[in-house]
Amino acid sequence: MKTSLPLKILMLGAWLLLISSCTTDTVTPASLRGTWVERTVRQDTLIINKDGINVRRGKAPNASGYLIPKIGSGFYSYELKGGSIFISRSMFSSSMPTLFEYPVEISGKKLTLPNFYELQHHYFGEEDRSGQKTLRFERL
């Protein structure tokens, strides 16, 4: 069965469009800078600048009824190496903070990053990624 030339050109164009939409941008400090909002629930916000990452998760009442920042909110330091981001909870620690590695991808105004701010190792010095999920953010 012969395929006509216009159909081949259409199929090639669709394939090229698909391939180009799947590419990711190079992750650099400049490409990370800005405000990113989590895409599904839209309650978590990352504000990334040259000094670190500010995670804003909103507030929730504690046992006494006071509104306090949700677990994981706060400042994190980071370094980029290759296609990974190394993040530490102890941004203002006087000792050497432990950096944990995560894969990171940027494609246009979309950022894909594992949920680093709810993991237990940032609070107890251990790395438990068993419940880790990948989050998708969009740039504001």
> Domain residues for 77?
24-139
Task: Confirm whether 89 is domain-assigned.
Answer: yes
pLDDT for the residue 46: 97
Compute CA distances 126 → 65, 70, 98, whole Å.
Answer: 30, 20, 10
Output the domain CATH number for residue 124. Answer: 2.40.128
pTM of the model: 0.72
Task: Confirm whether 6 is domain-assigned.
Answer: no
Give residue-wise pLDDT tens across range 108-123.
999 999 988 876 544 4
Residue 98 pLDDT grade (very low, low, confident, very high; cuts 50, 70, 90)? confident
Cite the DSSP H helix spans in 22-107. Answer: 29-32
CA dihedral 34, 58, 118, 98 (to 10 degrees): 60
Task: Confirm whether 30 is domain-assigned.
Answer: yes
Give residue-wise pLDDT tens across range 41-86.
888 999 999 999 999 999 999 999 999 999 889 999 999 998 899 9
Answer yes or no: is pLDDT of 140 > 60.
yes
Secondary structure (3-state) at 16: helix
Number of domains observed in the structure of the chain:
1
Task: Confirm whether 5 is domain-assigned.
Answer: no
Q: Which residues pair with 37 in a beta bridge?
A: 45, 138
Mean pLDDT computed over 7-25: 58
Contacts of 117 (CB under 8 A, 6+ apart): 44, 55, 57, 72, 73, 76
For residue 45, the 8-state DSSP code is E
Residue 129 pLDDT grade (very low, low, confident, very high; cuts 50, 70, 90)? low
Task: Confirm whether 18 is domain-assigned.
Answer: no
Task: Confirm whether 7 is domain-assigned.
Answer: no
Answer yes or no: is pLDDT of 91 > 90.
no
Q: Is the Cβ–Cβ distance between 42 and 49 less than 8 Å?
A: no
Share of the chain above pLDDT 90, in %: 50
pLDDT for the residue 100: 85
Task: Confirm whether 9 is domain-assigned.
Answer: no
Strand residues in the chain grouped as ranges (E) = 34-38, 45-49, 52-56, 59-61, 67-69, 74-81, 84-88, 100-103, 105-107, 110-114, 134-139
Give residue-wise pLDDT tens across range 58-68.
999 999 999 99
Task: Confirm whether 17 is domain-assigned.
Answer: no
